[in-house]
Each structure stands twice: as structure tokens, then as C-alpha cells.
């Protein structure tokens, strides 16, 4: 996904560069062994669209709160530099999470990257402790969201690594999109922090609206990621939300009788002919975008609206590209004729 050219991607470019510079300084202060692992990663991390989103979210929330403060709040309390520090904490926290994800995927070597992930997390929490040392509402939210994030991570690990062991059927809960929403914990933390920095009450409807919007956004984003990665994940012996959906469909229509028959090549071959399956997955992601947009519609945040509408646009574009690709493969193998899979499917 490319957000760099969109409204939410360009509005705070100078701020993003400042946050990146501070992230570089933070990493430069790590012990040499960790620094040497982290520094080569920084350019790639800095370019990643989600790094930008995670870092700039505190600015977008600040923009919204400045323009539309909750009615029962006093004037915003200025804290020069706090939003930048919060953005840095968010970014370091995201990079820590990114490394954890890479470790779960088996893409990274634990000896180097696990300590780096812990160092980034420690730095992020240290910054939050500087910003909000005694704010009970924030640290309660921090504890709740950390637990939700940990549970989501543990669930994903079970799903990705252990699910295929000794399994013959699929738990319905594994294909519920709501399970993906807890990935938004880091984003919700930015809301909690910004409200606390401004002395605003978490009970205000805007707080709930922002958190709910981010949960729906996280669902859509994760479906998009999993739709992209399911083949590669399966080749690594891991399932994700989309491949579980495909397996469930194959079980339902009798294409396979148990998960023991799982075969990446077969699944790829099968999916070329099940447009309805991908249309359904696409619809769920678009519905999540729509719900995200509805949550914040009353507050008229052009930046957050742009974040959601760009995701919806990318989802649609990528869905159409993949659809076209599937049609091209069908054309190559002339699969609509007699004896084709299409033909066999109708038996």
C-alpha cells in the first residue's frame, strides 16, 4: 500500500522526518551489538507505509482534537513536543512488534532480533513513562491494550504455527474478522495517550469512536495483508485468516475431507475457480472500512477519512488486479472446456 502520496501521507511529512531522525538517534544509543542489527533496517522501516501511519496517528488525533474538542473539555493544553515524543514511542513500539512478527514467521534470527525487539519496546515504554508518568487512565488503558495485544499475538501464533497439527476441522472462531481487531492495540494506545496528554476523559464518545474506527481499520488492513501473504505463509507451513477461509470453503463443498489433505498447490489451483470466495473476503474488508469511516464521520477528520478511504481504494484495486490474474491463468489452461476443473466442479 502506498500512503505517501495521499492526504494523510503528506500532511505531516516534516513531522514524520523529525520522528524518524529521533528514532535513528534512539537506535544509535543502543549497545553496539543491537545497533549493528538495527541500523541497516532503519531505511526500510522508515519507508514502510505502516510506519508512517503509526507515527503520524498521534498528529492526526491531535489535529482532530484541536479542531473539534469534546464539548465538555476546556481549551486544549499545549504540550510542545509531546506529540512528537508520542509518535516516536508509537514508532518504536511498532518496530518492536514488527520484529516479533518476523520472529513468529521464522524470517528472523532470534539471537539478534529478539533482544532488539525488547530494546525497542523498552525504549517505547520509557518514552510513554516520561510523557505520562502518573496518569492512571492512560496506564490502565496501557495494561488493557497490552494484554489484548499479547493475547492477539498468542492467538496468531497458535493459528499460524500449531493449527495444522492434529486438526481435522476448523474452529468457527478462527474465521471471525473480529479476532483481527485486537491488532489495533498499538493504534488505540495513541488515542489513550493523546486524550491523557490533553486532560480529556476516556468516557467521551469521541474516544470510543476513534478506538472503534481503529479496530475496524485493523480488521480491513489485516485481511488485506493476509490475502497477500496466504500462499507464502502456507509454503512456510503457516495458515492465516484467508487460508483458513479457503480451507473452510474446501471442506464445506467437499473438495477436501479433512485438513490432513491440505496442499498448497491444490489450494492455489482451487482458488482460481472460486471468485465468490474472494469476493466474500473482499466484501468483509470493505465493510470493515465502511464501519471505520462511519465511526468518525460525525467528527469530520479529513486525515482519518483519507486513511480509511485510501485503504478501501487499495483493497479494491488489488482485488481487481488479482481477479484479472486469475482470469489470465484460466485462459492459459483453457479451463472452461470439457474435462476442465470448471467442468468437474459442476459434477
Partner 1 sequence: MARQDLERLIGRAVLDPEFREKLFTDPEKAVREAGFDLTEEELAQLKSIDAQKARALLEEAEAIPAAEWK
Q: Which residues bind partner 1 (CB under 8 A)?
A: 1, 224-225, 227-232, 255, 261, 263-272, 314, 318-319, 321-322, 324-326, 328-329, 331-335, 337-341, 344-345
Beta carbon of residue 62, minimum distance to partner 1 (angstroms, whole number): 30
Q: What is the C-alpha to C-alpha distance for residues 325 and 100, in angstroms, rounded to an integer?
A: 32
Q: Where are the alpha helices (DSSP H) in the chain?
A: 7-10, 13-28, 32-38, 42-47, 49-67, 82-105, 110-131, 136-157, 185-197, 205-235, 241-252, 264-271, 275-296, 302-332, 341-345
- Residues 258 and 251: their CA atoms lie apart, in Å, by 7
Task: For the CB of residue 259, give the shortest distance to partner 1 in the complex, in Å.
Answer: 14
Give the residue with the Cβ less far from partner 1, 111 or 235: 235
For every residue of 250-288, DSSP letters joined together read HHHTTS-SSGGG--HHHHHHHHTT-HHHHHHHHHHHHHH
In this complex, which beta carbon is closest to partner 1, that of residue 7 or of residue 341?
A: 341
Which residues does 268 contact at the CB level (< 8 Å), separation at least 6? 231
Query: In whole angstroms, what separates CA 267 from the centre of its chain?
Result: 25
Residue 294 or 318: the one with the smaller Cβ distance to partner 1 is 318
Q: In angstroms, give the least distance from the CB of 75 to partner 1.
A: 43
Given a contact cutoff of 8 angstroms between Cβ atoms, the answer to whether 180 and 223 are in contact is yes
Nearer to partner 1, 198 or 245 (CB): 245
CA separation for the pair 115, 171 (Å, rounded): 34
Is the CB of 255 or the CB of 297 nearer to partner 1?
A: 255
Shortest Cβ 304–partner 1 spacing (Å)? 22
> Which residue lies nearer to partner 1 by CB, 72 or 265?
265
Q: Which is nearer to partner 1, 11 or 322 (CB)?
A: 322
Residue 229: name the closest of 243, 246, 248, 250 by CA.
243
Dihedral angle computed from the Cα positions of residues 69, 204, 293 and 302, in that order, rounded to the nearest 10 degrees:
10
Report the distance separating Cα 193 and Cα 199, nearest Å: 10
CB of 11 to partner 1, least distance (A): 24
Q: Which is nearer to partner 1, 102 or 115 (CB)?
A: 102
CB of 347 to partner 1, least distance (A): 8
Shortest approach of partner 1 to residue 241 CB, angstroms?
Answer: 13
Q: Closest approach of Cβ 318 to partner 1, in Å?
A: 5
Amino acid at each position: 500500500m502506498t500512503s505517501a502520496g495521499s492526504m494523510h501521507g503528506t500532511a505531516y511529512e516534516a513531522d514524520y522526518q523529525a520522528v524518524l531522525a529521533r528514532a535513528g538517534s534512539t537506535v544509535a544509543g543502543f549497545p553496539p551489538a543491537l545497533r549493528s542489527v538495527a541500523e541497516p533496517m532503519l531505511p526500510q522501516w522508515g519507508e514502510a507505509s505502516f510506519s508512517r501511519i503509526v507515527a503520524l496517528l498521534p498528529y492526526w488525533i491531535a489535529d482532530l482534537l484541536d479542531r473539534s474538542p469534546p464539548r465538555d473539555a476546556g481549551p486544549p493544553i499545549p504540550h510542545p513536543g509531546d506529540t512528537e515524543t508520542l509518535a516516536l514511542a508509537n514508532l518504536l513500539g511498532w518496530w518492536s512488534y514488527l520484529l516479533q512478527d518476523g520472529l513468529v514467521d521464522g524470517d528472523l534470527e532470534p539471537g539478534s532480533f529478539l533482544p532488539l525487539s525488547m530494546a525497542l519496546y523498552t525504549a517505547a515504554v520509557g518514552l510513554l513513562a516520561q510523557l505520562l508518568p502518573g496518569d492512571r487512565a492512560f496506564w490502565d488503558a496501557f495494561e488493557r491494550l497490552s494484554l489484548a495485544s499479547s493475547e492477539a499475538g498468542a492467538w496468531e501464533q497458535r493459528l499460524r504455527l500449531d493449527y495444522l497439527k492434529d486438526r481435522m476441522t476448523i474452529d468457527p472462531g478462527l474465521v471471525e474478522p473480529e479476532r483481527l481487531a485486537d491488532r489495533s492495540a498499538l493504534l488505540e494506545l495513541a488515542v489513550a495517550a493523546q486524550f491523557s496528554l490533553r486532560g480529556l476523559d476516556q468516557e467521551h464518545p469521541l474516544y470510543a469512536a476513534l478506538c472503534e474506527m481503529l479496530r475496524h481499520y485493523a480488521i480491513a488492513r489485516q485481511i488485506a495483508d493476509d490475502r497477500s501473504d496466504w500462499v507464502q505463509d502456507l509454503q512456510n507451513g503457516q495458515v492465516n485468516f484467508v487460508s483458513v477461509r479457503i480451507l473452510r470453503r474446501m471442506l464445506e463443498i467437499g473438495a477436501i475431507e479433512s485438513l490432513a489433505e491440505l496442499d498448497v498447490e491444490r489450494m492455489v489451483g482451487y482458488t482460481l475457480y472460486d471468485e465468490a470466495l474472494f469476493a466474500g473476503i473482499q466484501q468483509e474488508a470493505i465493510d470493515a472500512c465502511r464501519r471505520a469511516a462511519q465511526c468518525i464521520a460525525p467528527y469530520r477528520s479529513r486525515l482519518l477519512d483519507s486513511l480509511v478511504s485510501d485503504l478501501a481504494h487499495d483493497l479494491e484495486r488489488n482485488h481487481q488486479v488479482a481477479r484479472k490474474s486469475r482470469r489470465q491463468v484460466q485462459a492459459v489452461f483453457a479451463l472452461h472446456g470439457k474435462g476442465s476443473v470448471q467442468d468437474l466442479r459442476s459434477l
